[in-house]
Structure 1
Amino acid sequence: MVMTDPRMYRSKTPDFRSLAAKYPQTFGTFVKDDGGYEAKIDFQDAEAVRCLAETLLVEDFGIRARLSDRNLCPMVRALVVFAQLMPSVTDAFGVLGNRLAYIALIHELLSSTLPTLHLLHHHTSQSPFPFSASRISGLDIGTGASAIYPILGVRCFPTWSFVATDIDGESLDYARTHLVSPNKMEDGITLIGVDGNNAFVPWKTNESGATFTMCNPPFYTSREEMDELAGKKKAPANAVCQGTPREMITKGGEVAFVRRMIEESLSIENVLWWTCMLGRLSSVALLGQDLKEKAKEGKMGSWGVKELQTGGGRTKRWVLIWAGRANGLRIPDVSVEEVEWSKRKRENADEKEMFCTAYESGRLAFQQPDDLDTPPLRTGGESAETYQDIFKTSMTAGTGTIEVILKQESWTRKVRRARLHAPHLSENSPPTAHDILPLLMARISVNERTTSSQQSASETGLVVKVTWTYGFDAVRFESFAMFLLAAVQRSVNDSGNDQEQ
């Protein structure tokens, strides 16, 4: 099966006029076209919104769906992209549908971290993770009657599989009958009914575990709160919103729901990445503080926040990402942003630098990435292992990527001085790579610096970047990165002096 790119709508916008012509008996009945610049539909008409969602699912994803008229429609939460050139509907849906953006975010997260996990499995027999890096399985918590995340996830990435849970048996039956089975997705999607008071992970003792979770929790604490907040909005909603109380209301709202999920994640080791989408910035601030405190206490690993871009629309969503205590994988910088908290205070979600933008040279210091290995890394002794170009398979002359595994803190002055004063210490063989977990892992990339018209020729060259990919001590990573970059700079300076002579 051909993979569908979840980012497709970043360069493509739905054309209501052509869709109406192609589907005249269904979507065409809702389109209003006066021959002007754009055709339109009434977003306050629940049936029209539902038909638009069904039409785009079959047109762009080959998914034939009959969406429930009593449950939340994926379109209401912005499944689709609408361009800035369509201002009448931009606010209703945003530039990138939240659901597709969420799927794309998961893919970006896995694309960066799974190569590190695979290398970790190769490096040591004592892997902290009970599942393979080659098997990608998702857990959708509260999948609803549309099962939209598993449906889109499996269609965009056919090698993925999902377990989808819900407390509403009728919703699961509807999803199974009208979406999963008609599209022959039973092998990739398993629907499971759960009790609302039970654990979020239904296979808690199953060794296979989950690569990631997805969840869009109920927003509201009560019907009264939902009505009150709707009345406070400065402008009316651009699209009708419908859904059952179970889908939109939960005791304590989304904050209490996600806090329960966070507490459960502290005792579960068979989930690689926990993620959850939120609809309120105030919730992001509260839950972000919870994650920050637990990370400081050593109860969990890396964590971060990502805002899903919705263009000019008023609807905003944020995704929390965090890892269990035993998971030393670091969230890539592409998935971590500063989020504007309450009182307009800005903080880095992980509070620590996760990557270090390195040295910009006026000279081409290295001809191949493996040349980077010899002077800086081997200065640290035998405790560094390098793997060239595992993460990126293509490279041009003078550029590329290598993965580095560090088993000991052998780059510091303290260790080097100790070896000078006690040479016999270096004779003791350290534990083999397959006996211990790494101290830290880093990805070192060398890329050509792009030249603008304002730059002189001397400002061109290579940019070296060191990215933290595994470990628990940010200070230690920063120490290694500074050591490496200083060694690179000395090497470049020495090369320049030799050329001048």
Structure 2
Amino acid sequence: MSTSQPSKKHQAKPNHKPLHPRNLHKNGYDFTALITSYPPLKGYVKENLHGNISIDFAEPQAVKALNSALLKHHYNINDWDIPPGALCPPIPGRVDYIHYIAELLGIELPTADSVDLANSQSKVRLLDIGTGANGIYPLLACKIYGWHCVGSDINSESIDNVASVIAHNSKLKNCFELRTQSDKNHIFYGIIQSGEIFDVSVCNPPFHASQEEALKGSQRKVANLARNRSAKKSINVTQNDDQQKSITSDSTLNFGGQDAELWCKGGERMFLKKLIKESQAFATQCRWFTSLVSKIDNVKPAKKLIQKLGATDIREIEMKQGNKITRVLAWTFI
């Protein structure tokens, strides 16, 4: 993967709050290099009134093109794509999660410019719960660290889309496996097989409790982006979670994400409760269970439940992305 630094002229301003020290995107984007790697991005990049170049983060195709360019240029992932309406993830934030997980496992960043997936000696195994149509966590974990990953999802169309990405990147076939969850009432059951061992599981839970709540949240973000554009004329900062969730052409789901990606009954809190309770049944088959927690109010009850179920270690990892703070909750029974 490329570690080239952005040129000053074309460097987007870095986040006010730092990304992980290992994160290649902590200094912004070199759009010239990105366009060289992925020419279709050029049509979405323009100079703003401040002399910086960027894209319109409210334009879904622009955001998707930026993701494709980032994955191609820095991680040598070809032909990444998502279907209309699928969640378009913020690459820097997703990279941060993987680096923090590596620290949790005590793993150093490989020194080579790229990991040889065909001959990777890494024995680390990662399980991604709800990999979605983008498959972003296993893709990054494979490419950055050479880990062997399993991505699970309840949506067969999402699984098919990620399978298409893998098919266009032959070396990923050696380290990225997909599994469909056939029972909506379970998370680990039916996915973790008998005698199978994972080093870590990752998860980005559905945020909202209903489709209506998800729609209202998307509408608020659309309004905020519109106000921001009106005030600044152009968005010229490094992407973060608020900026990168793409707006679809359908105004009813303005920031991308299919039902299972955006909401579930009871929202994030209830999903975490189910995730934590079911993790106990697989206590000896996964060294660390982890999950993003977007709402600070959900951290305390989640920790309380984890402790009640007998975890031997609980950790709260703070990730700072732009003006947003997200937490990774990690626990182990071993």
Equivalent residue number for residue 111 of structure 2:
none
Deviation, 1:33, is 2.2
Show CA shifts across 1:347-385 (max 9, x none). xxxxxxxxxxxxxxxxxxxxxxxxxxxxxxxxxxxxxxx
Structure 2: distance between partners of 1:142 and 1:259 = 16
Show CA shifts across 1:227-281 (max 9, x none). 3445667944645321111211111111111111111122222111000112111
Equivalent residue number for residue 22 of structure 2:
7
Show CA shifts across 1:142-168 (max 9, x none). 00111111110000112x101110000
Aligned match for 1:19, one of 7, 20, 34: 34
Contact 1:203 1:209 in 2 (8 A): no
Deviation, 1:217, is 1.1
Structure 2: distance between partners of 1:35 and 1:222 = 40
Contact 1:303 1:321 in 2 (8 A): yes
Q: Aligned to 1:207, what secondary structure does the other structure show?
A: coil
Matched, 1:72 2:72: no
Q: Aligned to 2:78, what secondary structure does the other structure show?
A: coil
Matched, 1:99 2:94: yes
Matched, 1:242 2:242: no
**Structure 2 residues not aligned, in runs of 5+:** 5-19, 109-121, 226-241, 248-254
Show CA shifts across 1:319-355 (max 9, x none). 110012xx1xxxxxxxxxxxxxxxxxxxxxxxxxxxx
Of all paired residues, the percent bearing the same amino acid is 28
Contact 1:218 1:254 in 2 (8 A): yes
Show CA shifts across 1:154-209 (max 9, x none). 00112x101110000011111101x2121121110110111222342535452231
Deviation, 1:7, is 1.9
Structure 2: distance between partners of 1:107 and 1:290 = 25
Equivalent residue number for residue 116 of structure 1:
none
Higher normalized contact order (CA 8 Å, seq sep 6+, divided by chain length)? 2
* AA partner of residue 42 (structure 1): D
Equivalent residue number for residue 136 of structure 1:
124
Equivalent residue number for residue 194 of structure 1:
181
Aligned match for 1:216, one of 196, 201, 204: 204
Matched, 1:282 2:297: yes
Q: Aligned to 1:44, what secondary structure does the other structure show?
A: coil
Show CA shifts across 1:379-433 (max 9, x none). xxxxxxxxxxxxxxxxxxxxxxxxxxxxxxxxxxxxxxxxxxxxxxxxxxxxxxx
* AA partner of residue 290 (structure 1): L
Matched, 1:306 2:320: no
Distance verdict in 2 for CA 1:8–1:304, change over 3 Å: closer
Aligned match for 1:320, one of 304, 312, 329: 329
Structure 1: distance between partners of 2:53 and 2:177 = 39
Contact 2:48 2:54 in 1 (8 A): no
Structure-1-length-normalised TM-score? 0.51
Structure 2: distance between partners of 1:161 and 1:201 = 20
Structure 2: distance between partners of 1:267 and 1:154 = 27
Equivalent residue number for residue 109 of structure 1:
104
Structure 1: distance between partners of 2:329 and 2:243 = 26
Contact 1:216 1:276 in 2 (8 A): yes
Distance verdict in 2 for CA 1:6–1:180, change over 3 Å: farther
> Which aligned pairs between 1:388-427 and structure 2 lie closer than 5 A?
none
Corresponding pairs, count: 277
Distance verdict in 2 for CA 1:201–1:187, change over 3 Å: farther
Equivalent residue number for residue 156 of structure 1:
144
Aligned-pair Cα RMSD in Å: 2.9
Contact 2:290 2:329 in 1 (8 A): yes
Structure 1: distance between partners of 2:191 and 2:219 = 42
Structure 2: distance between partners of 1:34 and 1:238 = 17
Contact 2:38 2:72 in 1 (8 A): no
Aligned match for 1:145, one of 117, 133, 136: 133
Q: Aligned to 1:192, what secondary structure does the other structure show?
A: strand
* AA partner of residue 332 (structure 2): A
Distance verdict in 2 for CA 1:3–1:202, change over 3 Å: farther
Distance verdict in 2 for CA 1:8–1:205, change over 3 Å: closer
Distance verdict in 2 for CA 1:9–1:66, change over 3 Å: closer
Equivalent residue number for residue 38 of structure 1:
52
Contact 2:313 2:331 in 1 (8 A): yes
Q: Aligned to 2:150, what secondary structure does the other structure show?
A: strand
Structure 1: distance between partners of 2:107 and 2:143 = 21
Q: Aligned to 1:26, what secondary structure does the other structure show?
A: helix
Distance verdict in 2 for CA 1:232–1:59, change over 3 Å: closer
Show CA shifts across 1:37-63 (max 9, x none). 311211100000000000011011111
Distance verdict in 2 for CA 1:112–1:103, change over 3 Å: closer
Structure 1: distance between partners of 2:29 and 2:133 = 24
Contact 2:38 2:69 in 1 (8 A): no
Structure 2: distance between partners of 1:252 and 1:70 = 22
Contact 1:143 1:165 in 2 (8 A): yes
